[in-house]
Amino acid sequence: MPKVSIIGAGNVGATVADVLAQQGIFGKVVLLDIVKGKAEGKALDMWESAPLRGSDTKVVGVTNDYQATEESDVVVITSGVPRKEGQSRDDLISINAKIVKEVTENVVRYSPDAKIIIVSNPLDVLTYVASITAKKPKNEVFGMAGVLDSARYRSFIALELGVSVRSIHATLLGGHGDFMVPLPRYTYVGGMPLTQLMSKEKIDAIVKRTQFGGGEIIKLIGTSAWIAPGNSVADMVYSILGDCNRILPVCAYLEGQYGYNNVYLGVPAVIGKNGINKILEIELNEEEKAMLDRSYKGVKELMDVVDKMGLF
């Protein structure tokens, strides 16, 4: 039975563990945190609910004991600190890059063959940090962003049209959040193009809401979202361990695709047991390519901040 380890027992990490445990198809889920008792307590709570949901998947909580993650098939990294009021973007990157670097070093020490999914923010640049640190094939280290952005986008479209979310298929490119590149031309509702069912004004409004979806939740409850992000990560884990070869929008390393090199950016990819099996290139018009260029430049600026830190 496969083993999944989640580094960081905050709201997102704990949600990933809980969603995986509910499925009952995993041999073991390890939840690790640096705060003593945090992972252990949440794992115990999940296990006590196992009889109610009929799942025998055991969630094990540990404090900073990476040996417990040994021989994991997939490792999810959610570690990092949220941006505080008055803190610059560069300061946040500096702090979280060091955290992700240390975590990744420990992960590959005990699970050299694991596929690594990054959730920590800023997502694109921290996936870059993890990849350099891991020294693994680029298809085995990637980030979760597009799956979440796509889910938000589809959910808002479903609300507007009054249809099932299962009838909506959408593709997004680019970085996470502000750097997201929507593709209404490649968004379909029951096989019909979204552009035939909704005005440009309404589509633009939904796109803007999606780009700032995380901020909307912070404004409402004072903290970042965790249920949708946690389920998004679990979706990626399923595709890897089930060798499903699903097409998912993920933060992947580009080597010439879309005309970019040496950058992690959101693109549709085939996800299976080997991680990213293939990156799919979509034909873009001038407006879409210009938006992706802006996204690329924004992500590269963040990567330059890391390069100047001298971590590697």
How large is the average pLDDT for residues 183-206? 96
- Given a cut of 70, whether residue 86 has pLDDT beyond it is no
Catalytic pick among 152, 176, 189, 302: 176
Predicted local confidence at residue 309, as pLDDT: 87
Closest CA to 64 of 22, 106, 104, 10: 106
Query: How far apart are alpha carbons 72 and 2 in whole angstroms?
Result: 8
User: Which of 14-28, 113-127, 246-260 is least confident?
Assistant: 14-28
Do 64 and 102 form a contact (C-beta atoms < 8 A)?
no
The answer to whether the peptide bond before residue 122 is cis (omega within 30 degrees of 0) is: yes
Most confident range (mean pLDDT) of 80-84, 220-224, 279-283 is 279-283
Q: Kindly give the residue spans of alpha helices, DSSP state H, lying in 82-163.
A: 89-110, 123-134, 146-161
Q: What rounded mean pLDDT belongs to the chain?
A: 93
> Among 21-25, 186-190, 270-274, which stretch is predicted with the lowest mean pLDDT?
21-25
Q: Is the pLDDT of residue 12 over 90?
A: yes
Q: Which of 75-89, 161-175, 240-254 has the lowest mean pLDDT?
A: 75-89
CB atoms within 10 A of CB 96: 21
169 catalytic? Reply is no
Enter the pTM of the model.
0.95
Mean pLDDT to the nearest integer, 197-216: 93
Q: What distance in Å separates the CA atoms of residue 3 and residue 20, rounded to the nearest whole number? A: 11
pLDDT digits (tens, 9 = 90+) for 56-71: 888 999 999 999 999 9
- Place 223 in a pLDDT band, splitting at 50, 70 and 90: confident
pLDDT of residue 55 exceeding 90, the answer is no
- Amino acid sitting at position 277: N
d(Cα 103, Cα 306) in Å, to the nearest integer?
16
Kindly report, residue by residue over 114-171, the tens digit of the pLDDT.
999 999 988 999 999 999 999 999 999 999 989 999 999 999 999 999 999 999 999 8
pLDDT at 312: 82
User: How would residue 87 be classed by pLDDT, with cut points 50, 70 and 90?
Assistant: low
- pLDDT tens-place string over residues 88-98: 667 788 899 99
**For position 138, what pLDDT does the model report?**
96
**Under DSSP, is residue 210 helix (H, G, I), strand (E, B) or coil?**
helix
Residue 130: HSE in the Cβ half-sphere, 13 Å Cα cutoff: 38
**Average pLDDT in the 170-192 region?**
89
Domains of the chain as residue ranges with CATH:
3-143 (3.40.50.720), 146-307 (3.90.110.10)
Residue 84 is predicted with a pLDDT of: 67
